[in-house]
Amino acid sequence: MPCERPSTDSASVRPNRPEALSGPASRRVFLAATSAVGGVLAAGPAAAEAAPLNMEWAASAPEPSTCVTLTVNGERHTLTMDNRTSLLDLLREHLGLTGAKKGCDAGACGACTVLVDGRRVVSCLMLAVRLEGAEITTVEGLERGGRLHPLQQAFIDQDAFQCGFCTPGQIMSALGCVQEAHTGCAEEIREWMSGNLCRCGCYPNIVRAVEQAARGW
């Protein structure tokens, strides 16, 4: 099957859509590019000299990349991506699914939680090249025919968010939590939802939302 995108498809550090260079995304791109240069600097003086040219150079000599076919929310995609692309960046930067959030990019906050083959994972530490044939579910894939998923409804009913940044990750993690049947009591839910931080401190309401959804499961 031919790939949807040419093999110059970018890593997380390089925008693959022109609009990513303007507007709010530009700061993130700048920061990401800066950190890539920092990494190159550490490799020694020769690499440091080449660093400012990194982005141009990459356009003519693509980094090692791989063609992968995977299913996201029921839709099949075949794309070639830089091997460094995380599942989180694949979703957000390549597929335009910005539900999963980048909080820490280090596995420590849960904002990027999605399901891979039915199990919850942190997508920031999952290399997308590994996901040949995998089925991914993100928060965008939960509603059915315009009806919210019971967990989404429960988060609204229980007022389980304030700014909402952590919410997609909370909901996807809650889906795992309920399917794993770790909903015996509030204490158990707290422990099994502890991979998801909420900067707004909505924890009591999040626990209630998970309880509500678990009751109707």
Partner 1 sequence: MHSFVYTRASGLRQALDAARRGGRYLAGGTTLVDLMRETVERPAVLVDIAGLPLRDVTLTADGTLRIGALARMAEAAAHPGIRAAHPVVCEALELSASPQLRTVATIGGNLMQRTRCPYFRDVTAACNKREPGSGCPAREGVHRTHAILGTSRQCVATHPSDLAVALAALDADVRVLGPGGERAVPLTAFLLPPGDTPHREHALGPGELITAVDIPPHPRPLRSGYLKVRDRRSLEFALTSAAVALHIRGGVIREAKLAAGGVGTVPWRLPAVERRLIGERPSNRLWSQAAARAADGARPLPGNRFKTELLKRTVERQLRVVGGGR
Ligand X SMILES: Cc1cc2nc3c(=O)[nH]c(=O)nc-3n(C[C@H](O)[C@H](O)[C@H](O)COP(=O)(O)OP(=O)(O)OC[C@H]3O[C@@H](n4cnc5c(N)ncnc54)[C@H](O)[C@@H]3O)c2cc1C
Q: Does 122 bind partner 1 (CB under 8 A)?
A: yes
- 38 three-class SS: helix
Of the pair 15, 195, the CB lying nearest ligand X is at 195
For residue 151, give the nearest of 73, 207, 190 by alpha carbon: 207
Residue 69: burial class (beta carbons within 10 Å; 0-12, 13-18, 19+): middle
Sole binder of ligand X in the list 41, 50, 108, 163 (CB under 6 A): 108
Q: Is the dihedral of CA 156, 158, 164, 168 positive or negative?
A: negative
Give the neighbor-by-neighbor strand order of the sheet with 75-82. 75-82, 65-72, 135-137, 113-116, 119-122
Of the pair 72, 129, the CB lying nearest partner 1 is at 129
In the complex, the smallest distance separating the C-beta of residue 147 from partner 1, rounded to whole angstroms, is: 26
Which of ligand X, partner 1, ligand FES, none interacts with 147 (beta carbon under 5 to 8 A by kind)? none
Q: What angle do CA 190, 194, 197 make, to 5 degrees?
A: 115
Site residues (CB under 8 A) for partner 1, limited to 13-52: 13, 36, 38-40, 42-43
Of the pair 108, 159, the CB lying nearest partner 1 is at 108
Residues 119, 136: Cα–Cα separation, whole Å: 9
In the block, tokens 């040219």 appear at 53
Residues 78, 33: Cα–Cα separation, whole Å: 26
Q: Does 119 bind ligand X (CB under 6 A)?
A: no
Of the pair 80, 166, the CB lying nearest ligand FES is at 166
Alpha helix positions (H), the chain: 25-42, 45-50, 54-60, 87-89, 150-157, 167-179, 186-192, 203-215
In the complex, the smallest distance separating the C-beta of residue 163 from ligand X, rounded to whole angstroms, is: 22
Which of ligand FES, partner 1, ligand X, none interacts with 100 (beta carbon under 5 to 8 A by kind)? none
Of the pair 31, 41, the CB lying nearest ligand FES is at 31
Residues of this chain that bind partner 1 (CB under 8 A)? 11-13, 36, 38-40, 42-43, 63-64, 66, 82-84, 86, 105-108, 110, 113, 119-122, 125-127, 129-130, 173, 176-177, 180, 182, 190-197
Residues of this chain that bind ligand X (CB under 6 A)? 107-108
